[in-house]
Amino acid sequence: MIEQKSKIVDRAILSVAGFEKVFKVIHQNTVLKGQSKSTFHNYLRRIALISLHFGRLPENITDDEIQEYLTSLALDPKSPSRSSFKHMVYGLRYYFRHIGLNKRAIALPSLKNDHKLPVILNRSELKELFKAPKLLKHRIILALAYSAGLRSQELIKLKISDIDFERKTIHIRQSKYKKDRIVPLSAYIAKGLKKYISVEHPYIWLFNGKEDDGRYSPRGLAWIMRETLKKTSIQKKVNLHSLRHSYATHLLEDGVNIVTIKQLLGHATIQTTMIYLHVAQLPHTPPHSPLDTLYPEQG
């Protein structure tokens, strides 16, 4: 079953010749490759936007027209992070490779990493955040996200059966890179979860929502974080994913080695995890010769 389309995609299907076929084929391709729904919707929306702008599919848009269009996105003052530009390049690159136009994909502008450090919430800010929501369900969602370093997709895919209170573990299934992992269940959050389950009586999914399959939606999670922040004194620009960044940083500061943190986060490479070395407040060890620790001075 094809996922619900956005209004922009619907417009493209009605207005641009051949776009309906593009929609179906890209959907099939993302499913076969095991890519996420969000990836499918993001790519398709970008392709719909540029197709609507020119009134034709990307393969029928000239390179000069695409360059001019991308330049206008990159210079758009409403998008200081150039996110629209980046996602359009990603979408077009995916599309051109998908239809066999690899040369056109390669010719698109290269994207340099911004190398921005993640924003971390300190422990006082986290306590204020977790205390702010009126609803128990919202408090549990935020605290659980931090306590286990969960991505939003991992949070909404959790089933009640994935929580093992006896073994104190959380089983995260088929997450990014299609891998399972086990992370520790906080004793503190376990108490809250038991209370939440007894009060809310969730069915199958740990957090029931309005999605077709009964799960909570990513937009719903983002809304909880956004509305909760309004009730706090926190001034930092953070989102739900910032709780995962804070989790990793605080574990590092607590002395957990970076290889273990990589495994807990489910990162594909250690290089991704190493960014937290730049934000963690680690004890400073003055420069010295290891020979002096091998043969310490005798008092």
Q: What is the DSSP secondary structure assignment for residue 236, as one 8-state letter?
A: S
Residues recognised as catalytic: 151, 176, 241, 244, 267, 276
Residue 284 has pLDDT above 60, yes or no: yes
Give the pLDDT score at 81: 54
Type of residue found at 220: G
* Sign of the torsion formed by the C-alpha atoms of 27, 32, 37 and 43: negative
Q: How far apart are CA 159 and CA 161, in angstroms?
A: 5
Q: How far apart are CA 160 and CA 144, in angstroms?
A: 13
Residue 184 has pLDDT above 90, yes or no: yes
Would you call 172 helix, strand, or coil by DSSP? Answer: strand
Report the side by side order of strands in the sheet with 163-164: 163-164, 169-172, 181-184
- pTM value? 0.67
Residue 90 has pLDDT above 70, yes or no: yes
Domains defined along the chain, listed by start: 7-107 (no CATH), 123-278 (1.10.443.10)
For 127, the token pair is: 């306590």
Give tens-digit pLDDT for 36-79: 677 778 888 899 999 999 999 999 999 889 988 888 887 776 66
